[in-house]
Amino acid sequence: MLKKFKIFCIFLLFLLIPQAQAIGSLQKNNFLEIEKGGIANFEILFWNTENISYFVKIEVRKKPENFFVLIEPSEFLLYPSSQGPPYEEGEYVSLPSGDFKAFPVNVYVKDFGETGEQEVFISALIGNEKGGLSFLMEKNFKFKVKVNFSSQVKEANETKPFSFPINISSFEKGAIDLKPLFYFLIVLIFILISILVYRRA
């Protein structure tokens, strides 16, 4: 029984090795230093040397309480990477089998009060869409952000809200500041209660 289990494990390992080599990732940077209230921008490159597409879902596993993390995009289909030459616009990774175009993912980290060196942990779940979605592997990433105190940055943040320097479609998924909506609802509820009290009086 033990011998059969070992043979099965070896067979499974041989099946997973080519898949792991076909789907790759690279952290372009894993450490950034920002001022308090600043934004750190990390980038991860993904590539796929297979002839099929894979579904990728990226999630935040762990972060400081006062950090806001936005991943763009957080879900996507990793299509087969085009091989150069010829080279298209974008970044390529050099592999033993050739140069392949990489798919970039940006990770934005916004500080809301933390100082010192902080860590953010992110995982990428990679799945196969054939025969229903099932995850094949998981890749983990760790980013370090060193936040330095700056009174000037703090004063600037008190007078105007922060904004990312790009048009981010993930805001459609609820990654926005809900405080104005919350205040509006409170005022609306207060007005409705006042109208009801006035009518009953």
Whole-number pLDDT of residue 190: 61
Helices (H), 23-150: none
Whole-number pLDDT of residue 112: 85
pTM: 0.62
Whole-number pLDDT of residue 60: 96
Listed by start position, the domains of the chain span 2-176
Answer whether 36's CB lies under 8 Å from 111's CB.
yes
Residue ranges for the chain with pLDDT beneath 70: 1-21, 129-135, 150-190, 194, 197-198, 200-201
Answer whether 34's CB lies under 8 Å from 40's CB.
yes
Nearest one of 114, 23, 26 to 66, comparing CA atoms? 114
Whole-number pLDDT of residue 187: 60
From CA 75, how far away is CA 49, in angstroms rounded? 19
The CATH topology of domain 2-176 is: Immunoglobulin-like (2.60.40)
Structure-token pair, residue 193: 């209660």
Whole-number pLDDT of residue 52: 87
116-138, pLDDT tens digit by residue?
899 999 999 998 755 555 667 89
Whole-number pLDDT of residue 159: 40
Whole-number pLDDT of residue 2: 46
